[in-house]
Structure formats: C-alpha cells, structure tokens
Structure 1
C-alpha cells in the first residue's frame, strides 16, 4: 500500500503536491517581538491597549506578513507602534505559542526617530532599566529582557 501511495504521490508533482500538503497541515501565525534597547541599555516597553488589563505592558510585538523576513517584522512593528527606527540583532527566542502560533524574538537597537504612538494600539511607551520593570509586564517578555540583558 505504501508503494502505491508513493507512486501516486510522485505522479502528482509540483503545485498539486504543494496544495495537498498545504491542506493537510496546520497553518501558523508568527508573532515577532523586538527587545529594543537604547544606548544606555534601557529597554522599550509599551502599554498595549488591546492586551489584558492585568498584563498590558510588553515589548513591541506583531505578526509577520506573508513573505516578510522576521527581522523586517520587528522594524515595521516598532515603526508602526512608536514611530521609532530600530536595527535588528541576534535571534533571542524561537518557540511555540498559543495554539497555532510561533513566537520569534530578536534583539534590536534604537537608532532614531521621534516617539509617535499609534493610539489604536499603544497607550504609553517607556524606556526602562532591566532592573526596574513595571508591574503588569508579560512574563515571557520579562524573561526575554532579563535573559538577553548583560550587565556592564
């Protein structure tokens, strides 16, 4: 039976194989987060309007757009949410998230721009020392900040 299935599969080729695979497998959203730091080592935290009132604070985060490199997602999301410009660095987290979501996080460096919050998504922005993080910070984001922080 396996040989028959293999012969049929090989006979399908190309786009038909791809469509069958696409239908048969899970579809994932990719959430991308930036651990944005300034020249003093402070991290950019945002109070998100659409997050839980118990944990509204977190890092700049958003979903990757089809075909977008994850590093580009960080740059785009930070710009959309805050008006700030960043340069991405090392990958600091890759894991599974809620349901069919993949979580990706990169270090990022603030390089310029003027703070201009997107009022539909962000209520407040704050530069914080890793030693003085606000209550209500997402636990995963707290770990990302502390795990990627190297004291001087």
Structure 2
C-alpha cells in the first residue's frame, strides 16, 4: 500500500520536480580524469604540480571534467592546457569511486604533437620518464596506473 502511494506521489510530481528531488537525495560527484600519456619511446609524461602536496608533487596529467564534457575530451583539454601537447586518447584503464565525492577516470593516451610548454600557474615542471626511472614524490595511485598500462600493450592510435 505504501509503495503504491509513493508511486502515485512520484508520478504526480512531474519531471522538473522529480529531478530536483533526485538531485537533493543523492550524492554529488566531481569527476577527476587522468591521462597516462606516452611518447613514441613509450616514456610516461609526468608533471610536478604546484598545488599538490610538497611530499608528492609528481603525477600524471589530471583535471576535472566540466559539465557535459566527454571524459576522453577532458584528457585532451587538460594535457593541452597544462603542457601545450596534443594527445590521442585510447583505452579506458580505470573507472572507480575515489576520495569522498569524486569519481576517478583514467585513459591511455599518446602524444601526437604540440610543443611542450607548461602552464606555470598549475605546473612547475613537465618531464618524460622511462617506467623504470619514475621520480620520488610520485602519487602512489599514479604509479599503479602506470604499472597497469605497460608500454607495448597500449591501445592508443599513434601518429
């Protein structure tokens, strides 16, 4: 009986009000998107981030998706904004809930062009690293992502 009454009320609310009730009653998430970007020598692009912890400043190109943006496009935009490089996005390598109210998405990507120039507001340094020479101060989660996307197994189109 209660479920019928709830359904009757729900259907009487109509679309706009239904969406507001759903929005207010569910968790809100930011979507953090990361690119595991490799060059033609299979080195990984890492950035030393100005706003990150001084103990762990190194990480992959990362940013938040904007409303309506496809997550692969977020990788392309963030890499271009932070480094001036162009990338082709490949295989999805991670999709999971992250810290608190964040969803984490990661893709393989391959550099296709552009000129390396950092955004000094966000980035202190950008460098290519061989997988066996990753820097101290690299986020553990990014170290795991790199290990999960080994060179040679990439599903990213090259030039």
TM-score by length of 2: 0.93
SS of equivalent residue, structure 2 residue 144: helix
**CA-based RMSD:** 1.1
Residue 7 of structure 1 corresponds to 8
- Cross-structure match for 2:94: 93
**Which residue number corresponds to residue 130 of structure 2?**
129
1:26 and 2:24 matched:
no
Matched, 1:38 2:39: yes
Q: Which residue of 2 aligns with 1:83?
A: 84
Unaligned residue ranges in structure 1 (runs of 5+): none
Cα offset for 1:13? 2.2
Task: Please list every run of 5 or more consecutive structure 2 residues that lacks an aligned counterpart in the other structure.
Answer: 154-159
**What does residue 156 of structure 2 align with?**
none
CA distance in 1, matches of 2:76, 2:53: 24
Rounded Cα–Cα distance in structure 2 between residues aligned with 1:91 and 1:19: 31
Taking the aligned partners of 1:13 and 1:7, their CA distance within structure 2 comes to 11
Counterpart position of 2:117: 116
Give the superposition deviation at 1:48: 0.3
SS in 2 for 1:131: helix
Residue 65 of structure 1: aligned partner: 66
Distance 1:124 1:27 in 2: 33
Q: For residues 70 and 152 of structure 2, what CA distance do their matches in structure 1 show?
A: 30
What is the alpha-carbon distance in structure 2 between the residues aligned to residue 101 and residue 56 of structure 1?
A: 20
Deviations 1:52-99 (A, max 9, x none): 000000000000000000000000000000000001000001111111
CA apart distance, 1:14: 1.3
Corresponding residue of 2:17: 16
CA offsets per residue over residues 27-70 of structure 1, 9 Å max, x none? Answer: 10000000000011000000000000000000000000000000
Runs of 4+ in 1 over 6 A off after TM superposition: none
Under a length normalisation based on structure 1, what TM-score does the superposition of the two structures give? 0.97
